[in-house]
Structure 1
Amino acid sequence: MLDYPALAALAAVIREGSFERGAQALGVTPSAVSQRVRGLEEKLGTVLVQRGQPCVPTELGRTLCSHFDQVRLLEADLDPALKPRLAGNETTPTIRLAVNADSLATWFPDAVTRFVRATGLLLDLTREDEGHTAERLRMGEVLGAVTTDPEPLPGCRAVALGALRYAACASREFVERHFPDGVDPASLTKAPCLRFDHKDRLQARWVRETFDCELQAPTLWVPSTHAFQDFALAGLAWGMQPLLLARDHLAAGRLVELVPGSLLNVRLYWNVVRLHASSLRVLTDAIQAAAREALGRGEKQ
């Protein structure tokens, strides 16, 4: 039988990044947290936390934290009369998810609002590129992820959410300056483009699909969805903008499409662990409802 107070200490250390902050979150002393984690490590005969700034879990430590999170969600389904008999001053269960930045900046807050109002539970959102969120789920760091992978991971189920649509945009002044004779592969090699980070391949994908060539251009790195749009509006570079954010600017002429009507669709899926916890069912319903309104209807896989 696992020592759940020790697991709570382990999870707090990993979540907060240090023994001191983990102890503060649990309302106990750092010494008590250290003893619980060390005792669990001695019992299992292996290291669970790599001490440092911040503290990070080993592979087994990450697995145990994921198990603890799932147990807490199942406990939340117990009859309220039993809850006071559970471990006294535990905090409200928090569900960890991985979500891409453009979803966080557009449709996903509506899903969060629906879920929190319905359950009173909290979410811990990790921002990650949509092509890499599934890895967070595979490693046990999160219980659900918005991803581009249509296949359910082992122990999970996948739900299609719809497509996040992008347009290659820039300010009118930028287009007139860099593409006076129209947009073509040659002019694209000279015009600065935006990239969110090194995982962002949307600009390159659009160029490949539209012009059948590879993108090699001066790059402005902007790891913020809203700043990404602001820099395009300022005429500094072109980039792939979510239509949910850009359409008013396009309608007003503050942004223009490099190739009108040449949109890029990024299909999104909700991948979530198969756990019979009512909170995950409510969360999935909230995400599907928000996505259906913003992205289109999804279908179960």
Structure 2
Amino acid sequence: MLDYSGLHCLSEVVRYGSFERGAQALNLTQSAVSQKIKRLEHKVHGPVLVRAKPLKATDLGAQLLAHYQKVCVLEEQLAGHTGLAEEVSALSVAVNNDVLATWFSEVMAQFTAEKSNPVHIYNADQSQTRSLLQQGKVMACISQTGLAVAGGQSVRLGTMDYQLYASPAFIEQHLSQGINPETVNRSPGLIYDEYDVALLSDYQQQCMNVAPSINNCHWYPSSHGFVQMAVSGAVWALLPALQVKAQTAAGQLVNLFPGKQLSVPLFWHWFDLESAALTALTQAVKQVSKYQLSR
């Protein structure tokens, strides 16, 4: 039998990144929390924490925390059925940057109007989120892959459409000789991070009919900053059409290749748990994505 008191302590010190702040949240002494985690490590025959700043879970610790999250959700549901005192549990979700920057705030607004469960969002590329679900680090995710994980379900939400944008000032400075794949690839572009390389490469191959090239790209890992860099005239950028409706309407950004778009399918994955909160979150995701994403 696992030591759930120790798992609760582990969850809090990882959440807050230190024994001191975790102990404060638990209303225990730092020494008591440390002893509980040591007993847990003795029970599971291995370290559960990387004792650095901030504290992080080991692989074993992450597996235990994933199990603990599911147990908390199931206990919440059981409390609802039996009339026991109910304590809401957090839902952990992995969502990519572009969805967070566009429509997931509407999901949160709809969900929080109905449920009081905290939602802990892990920011990860849509090509990586399903792995976090598979590992048990989250209970649900938005992914570009449709195959459901073991013990879970998935549903297709729609597609996120990406187009290549630049400001009028950028076009005047860098593309005055004509807008074509060759002149664009020779001018300064933008990439979010290493995972964004695949997205841009797909656009270049499928929409520009050229070999992928990122030699002239800056790297700028900020969704808001990504748009601002393009508006400022510093770069061209591959952006979700949803995210820049206002900028294109105002003439701040121009679609460099009208009619050419990369459509990335998005799927909602969730573990098949008897959780009213997870069901409510799933319903909110389905409803909001229905009018935000292309079909």
* TM-score with structure 1 setting the length: 0.91
Matched, 1:149 2:151: no
**Aligned-partner Cα distance in 1 for 2:71–2:18:** 23
- Which residue of 115, 119, 123 maps to 1:119? 115
SS in 1 for 2:102: coil
Question: How many aligned residue pairs are there?
Answer: 291
What letter corresponds to residue 193 of structure 1 in structure 2? G
The residue that corresponds to 2:242 in the other structure is 244
The residue that corresponds to 1:82 in the other structure is 84
- CA offsets 1:219-259 (integer angstroms, 9 cap, x no match): 22221111111111110000112111212222232111111
The residue that corresponds to 1:196 in the other structure is 192
**Aligned-partner Cα distance in 2 for 1:92–1:52:** 30
Partners of 1:185 and 1:213 within 8 A in 2? no
Matched, 1:160 2:156: yes
**Aligned-partner Cα distance in 2 for 1:204–1:176:** 25
Matched, 1:134 2:130: yes
Shift in Å at residue 185 of structure 1?
3.8
- CA offsets 1:31-85 (integer angstroms, 9 cap, x no match): 111111111111222222121112222222111111111111122221374117x
Matched, 1:24 2:21: no
CA RMSD of aligned residues (A): 1.7
Partners of 2:161 and 2:294 within 8 A in 1? no
**Aligned-partner Cα distance in 1 for 2:211–2:50:** 45
Q: Return 5+ residue gaps in structure 2 as ranges.
A: none
The residue that corresponds to 1:269 in the other structure is 267
Q: Return 5+ residue gaps in structure 1 as ranges.
A: 85-90
The residue that corresponds to 1:87 in the other structure is none
Partners of 1:184 and 1:211 within 8 A in 2? no
Superposed counterparts of 1:203-214, under 5 Å:
203-209=200-206, 210-214=208-212
Partners of 2:19 and 2:33 within 8 A in 1? yes
Greater than 3 Å deviation, 4+ residue runs: none
Shift in Å at residue 139 of structure 1?
2.0
- Which residue of 225, 228, 235 maps to 2:226? 228
What letter corresponds to residue 270 of structure 2 in structure 1? V
Q: Structure 1 vs Structure 2: percent identity of aligned residues? A: 34
